[in-house]
Amino acid sequence: MRTRKNPVIFYKLILLTIFIITVSILLKGILKSKPDDKTILNPVSSKPVLNQFGFAEDSLTKHSYVVNRNETLSDILAPYHLAKTNVSEIAIASKNIFDVRKIRTGKTYHIYTADDSLMSVKYMVYEKDPVNFVIYDLNDSVRVYEGKKNVTIKKETKAATINTSLYVALEESKTDIELAIRLSQIYAWQIDFYRLQKGDKFKIIYEEEYVDSQMVGIGKVLGAYFYHNNKDFFAIPFEQDSIYQYFDENGNSLRKEFLKTPIEFARISSRYTSRRLHPILKVYRPHYGVDYAAPTGTPIRTVGDGTVVEAAYGKANGRYVKIKHNSVYTTMYLHMSGFAKGIKKGTKVKQGQVIGYVGSTGLATGPHLHFIFYINGNLVDPLKIELPPSHPIKDELKEKFEEQKFKVLNELNTEGSGEKHPA
């Protein structure tokens, strides 16, 4: 008998392989942008030349490493000699500038030692990210201060048409993953990035940030265009109410507002915390959500438009509903006494629509709603997310916006690939 491959599985495997290759190529690009120690050595000169951290290193030996897993400041400094201080003094001196307990695996640090037999440490530099660093000057007593490398900005344009998947399109246009995330956030309410279609296309004008010749990040997005579902979606940046936000060509905000609370008149009985005594389990557990105490049967509203992705019963959650608002935002509502009529997996809901009623199903001491908010799959404190209001352009700013719009649309039309979008 001949064995035959299942064509569906085969197709899925190909897609998976393309995805993995694309992500690894993109990641390689990101890793490459890590600062290279060799590039920052100074040429020999008679005067002391300051290095990129702002001190003279001519007479010192530089040791550059990456923080290993679980390594602490003491581990990092253990191989060296501290002449005028010790690790705890350094930690205390650092406290208000940088908490040394926040030293993270994978970050780069540099130890500068004197050319003596003891290898006395003169400076230590911890790089918080490719731009920001903390300097420990140990020449005399400990002096700790922060610094920032010089960042230069370059304006860039990327354009691509989706032929197979967004990932392939991103790779072909050499678009950074960070940029893809920005695009998905800007268009979160207009485009479902999991449902892009063949023939969809985008163009984006943005800033690339460089330290020396290494790209370290994406700055502002200066304008974007997306063609999806036979429709044009423009993103024109404009500052209103001191917020840099995005508008369509008619001056409407691209972002929709969420309701402030899922229950109209409720009392917050427990806040989001990474540590609290669980009322039933009697152990310290994080509380990743906000509790609203309200009588059983109080209607619960969805805070935004979306699709019900789960309406089910769980041992801890009780009766709960999970709503995906778009590819960025998802919310969840727990301990319901019952679902509202028609609420099941796949149901489309409108902002403010009642989806269920307060109860105490699952692990709950009394009737309350446990409300959870996710951004890009990460739990966030619903009371702390700052989503500015989504007002359209104000009358008094309309003229200024029109000027900006004209400029951005013009650039989207003419920059980069020269590809024209359908007007």
Binding site for Zn ion (CB under 5 A): 291, 370
Per-position DSSP letters for 135-204, written without gaps between them: EEE-SSS-EEEEEE---EEEEEEEEEE-SS-HHHHHHHTT--HHHHHHHHHHTTTT--TTS--TT-EEEE
CA distances (Å), origin 23, targets 170, 204, 260, 336, 415:
10, 20, 36, 40, 27
Cβ proximity to Zn ion: between 57 and 291 the closer is 291
Which residue has tokens 């997996």?
345
Q: How far is the CB of 352 from Zn ion (least distance, A)?
A: 22
Q: Contact at 8 Å (CB) between 337 and 296? A: yes
Find residue 313's DSSP bridge partners. 319
Q: By C-beta, is 64 or 269 nearer to Zn ion?
A: 269
Beta pairing partners, 180: none
Cβ 360 to Zn ion, closest distance in Å? 11
Cα atoms in the 13 Å half-sphere on the side-chain side of 301: 16
Nearer to Zn ion, 223 or 382 (CB): 382
How far apart are CB 8 and Zn ion at their closest, in Å?
41
Q: Which is nearer to Zn ion, 255 or 370 (CB)?
A: 370
Of 149 and 370, the one with the shorter C-beta distance to Zn ion is: 370
In the complex, least distance from residue 288 CB atom to Zn ion, rounded to whole angstroms: 8
* Shortest separation between residue 104's beta carbon and Zn ion, angstroms: 30
Nearer to Zn ion, 184 or 261 (CB): 261
Decide: 262 and 300 in contact? Cβ < 8 Å.
yes
H or E element at residue 385: none
Residue 376, CA distances (Å) to 226, 259, 399, 401 in order: 20, 19, 35, 30
Q: How far is the CB of 372 from Zn ion (least distance, A)?
A: 9
- Please give the residue whose beta carbon sits closest to Zn ion in the complex: 370
Question: Minimum distance from CB of 334 to Zn ion (Å)?
Answer: 7
Tell me the two tokens of residue 402. Answer: 């029109």
Please identify, using beta-carbon distances, which residue of 79 and 286 lies nearer to Zn ion: 286
Distance CA 21, CA 35 (A): 24
Q: Could you tell me which residues are beta bridge partners of residue 284?
A: 277
Cα-only R_g, the chain: 27
- The CA-to-CA distance between both ends of the chain, in Å, stands at 58
> Dmax over Cα atoms in the chain, in whole Å?
82
**In whole angstroms, how close is the CB of 307 to Zn ion at the nearest point?**
24
Query: Residue 170 or 290: which CB sits closer to Zn ion?
Result: 290
Whole-number minimum distance, CB 308 to Zn ion, in Å?
21
Q: Which is nearer to Zn ion, 127 or 291 (CB)?
A: 291
Question: Nearest-5° angle of CA 36, CA 39, CA 45?
Answer: 150
Q: Supply the minimum distance, in Å, between the C-beta of residue 293 and Zn ion.
A: 10
Element (H, E) at 243: strand 243-247
Indicate the residue type of 281. Answer: L
* In the complex, minimum distance from the CB of residue 290 to Zn ion, in angstroms, rounded to a whole number: 7
What are the tokens at 170?
Answer: 């991103």
Q: Which residue number, 314 or 342, has a Cβ lying nearer to Zn ion?
A: 314
Q: Tokens 């030692």 — which residue?
A: 113
Closest CB to Zn ion among residues 108, 298: 298
- Cα–Cα distance for residue pair 254/363, rounded to 1 Å: 39
